[in-house]
Amino acid sequence: MPVLLCRVDDRLIHGQVVLGWGRPLGLERIVLVDDDVAANTWEQQLYRMAVPAGIDVVFASVAGAIAGLGAWEADGVRTALLTGGIASMAALHAAHPDAVHRINLGGLHHQPGRSERLPYLYLTDAELSELRTLERDGAQVTAQDVPTAQPVALESIA
Amino acid sequence: MSDGDGRAGLNGVVVAHGTLASAMVDAAEQITGISGMLKAVSNSGCDRGALEERIWAAIGEAPSVVFVDLAAGSCLIAVLRRVRERPDVRVVTGVNLAMLVDFLFHRTLPAEEAAAHAAASGGSAIRVP
């Protein structure tokens, strides 16, 4: 229950996360899982600026998040887990399949090799295949940028 | 870049969600009759890296004031990531039309002063009559 949202979003912390999802879920903590940001205090300052009072931010590497997830699950703090890419979320799911069960694709934008699947979701074929593997491994993957939008099941994303 | 009287002027960049920036630039130009001095940047369709590139391409090499819509969010973070390397660039959040109009009339000030002036003007325009 405490990990309420497992979101893949290449903008990391931004308005859709802290306002769009933060308010209806009553988030008290965002765990930003990114190896680069976890090693960069300047970047961390910037992301802290984007978070309103009342929401704590934890910066973790992928390895750090795998180590910390058990405690975040147990302490009762309403938490969102946020990664900038699929591979990091897949690693978290592999280590904690129960806590990281429902995976939200919130925003992956255009990059070379990716094609548009939804207006806010661009994927390479390899990334789509990676997501399908995640589902075969037990995760439930949907795309949904904001809570008021209808979630889109992975099986309907081509 | 220079004003009509030949004095050098600041570069102004408006960064906002969706189509807000282009609409605000258009409105500010209509009010002041000064065009081509503000650039609009949207975050639509961008990941972090692409937005950062889009913003800093608009800033270019000139001293600039960057106006951002929200005081928290992807637009501000994308600007601030590189701003330490550019002391001639200042950032103002909570952009509104009053501050853009003010900026267009004070583009010959140093960036720090123009930013403070525009922020004060924009703030004083917020009222509950």
Cβ–Cβ under 8 Å, residues A122 and A110: yes
Q: What is the pTM of this model?
A: 0.84
- B79 vs A: CB within 8 A: no
Domains identified in chain B, total number: 1
Q: Is residue B10 predicted with pLDDT exceeding 80?
A: yes
pLDDT at position A26: 95
Domain contains A93: no
What CATH number is attached to the domain comprising A17? 3.40.35.10
Boundaries of domain holding A29: 8-78
Task: Tell me, yes or no, whether A13 and A73 share the same domain.
Answer: yes
Q: Is residue B2 predicted with pLDDT exceeding 70?
A: no
Q: Nearest Cβ partner of A109 from B50, B70, B76? A: B50
Domain contains A137: yes
Q: Is residue B46 predicted with pLDDT exceeding 50?
A: yes
CB–CB of A84 and B84 under 8 A? no
- Rounded distance between C-alpha atoms, residue A1 and residue A86, angstroms: 22
User: How crowded is residue A61: how many other Cβ atoms within 10 Å of its Cβ?
Assistant: 17
Domain contains B4: no
How would you write B97-126 as a 3-class SS string? HHHHHHHHHCCCCCHHHHHHHHHHHHHHCC
Q: Tens digits of per-residue pLDDT, A11-31?
A: 999 988 998 999 999 999 999
CB–CB of B74 and A14 under 8 A? yes
Q: End of a domain among A63, A78, A93?
A: A78
From the list B108, B63, B99, B78, the residue with the least C-alpha distance to B15 is: B78
Question: Which amino acid, residue A46?
Answer: L
CB–CB of B74 and A11 under 8 A? yes
Residue A5 or residue B82, greater confidence: A5
Q: Nearest Cβ partner of A46 from B17, B45, B77? A: B77
pLDDT bucket at B45, cuts 50 / 70 / 90: confident
Domain contains A50: yes
Domain contains A87: no
Domain contains A2: no
Domain contains B3: no
List, for chain A, all residue ranges whose pLDDT scores fall below the cut of 70: 1
pLDDT at position A49: 87
Domain contains A33: yes
Average pLDDT for B54-73:
94
3-state secondary structure of A19: helix
Average pLDDT for B67-90:
91
User: How crowded is residue B29: how many other Cβ atoms within 10 Å of its Cβ?
Assistant: 17
pLDDT at position B69: 94
B46 min Cα distance to partner chain A (Å): 6
- B72 vs A: CB within 8 A: yes
Q: Tens digits of per-residue pLDDT, B83-108?
A: 889 999 999 999 999 999 999 999 99
Beta bridge partners of A29: A56, A79
- B83 vs A: CB within 8 A: no
Domain contains B112: yes
pLDDT at position A1: 61
CB–CB of A108 and B47 under 8 A? yes
- B54 vs A: CB within 8 A: no
Domain contains B16: yes
What CATH number is attached to the domain comprising B74? 3.40.50.510
Q: What DSSP character marks residue A20?
A: I
Task: Tell me, yes or no, whether A71 and A117 share the same domain.
Answer: no
Average pLDDT for B28-36:
96
Boundaries of domain holding B59: 11-123
Please state the ipTM of this predicted complex: 0.75
Domains identified in chain A, total number: 2
Domain contains A85: no
Task: Tell me, yes or no, whether A117 and A73 share the same domain.
Answer: no
Mutate to test the interface with B, among A14, A43, A114, A116 (most CBs of B within 10 A): A14
